[in-house]
Amino acid sequence: MTARWRHLWRVWRQRRRFEGEIDAELNFHLQARADQLQSTGVDRPEALRRARIELGMVNVHRDGIRAAVGLQGLDRWQSDLRQAWRSLRRSPVYASVAVLVLALPLATGLLLHGLYAAYALQSPALDRVDRWVHLHGVSAADPQLNRFTVSETDALLAQPPAALEGLYSARLLTLPIVTDRIRRGIGIAVSDNYFEL
Does 142 share its domain with 84?
no
Which secondary structure element, helix H or strand E, spans residue 182, and what is its range? strand 182-190
Q: Where is the domain boundary, 75, 100, 122?
A: 122
| Confidence bin at 3 (pLDDT 50/70/90) | confident
Does 85 share its domain with 106?
no
For residues 170 and 190, the answer to whether their CB atoms sit within 8 Å is: yes
Residues 6+ apart with CB under 8 A from 158: none
pLDDT tens digit string along 35-48?
998 898 888 888 88
Does 137 share its domain with 192?
yes
Does 11 share its domain with 46?
yes
Q: What pTM was estimated for this model as a whole? A: 0.39
For residues 117 and 110, the answer to whether their CB atoms sit within 8 Å is: no
Give the chain's end-to-end CA distance (angstroms, integer): 54
Does 76 share its domain with 117?
no
Does 29 share its domain with 71?
yes
Per-residue pLDDT, 83:
92
Q: In angstroms, how far is CA 115 from the centroid of its own chain?
A: 22
Does 50 share its domain with 103?
no
Residue 37, CA distances (Å) to 1, 27, 32, 61 in order: 43, 15, 9, 22
Does 114 share its domain with 150?
no
Q: Domain range spanning residue 97? A: 91-122
Does 79 share its domain with 95?
no
State the average pLDDT over residues 49-60.
Answer: 85
Does 100 share its domain with 80?
no
pLDDT tens digit string along 85-126?
888 888 889 888 988 999 999 999 999 999 888 877 776 666
List the one residue out of 47, 197, 44 whose CA is nearest residue 132: 197
Does 66 share its domain with 141?
no
Number of domains in the chain: 3
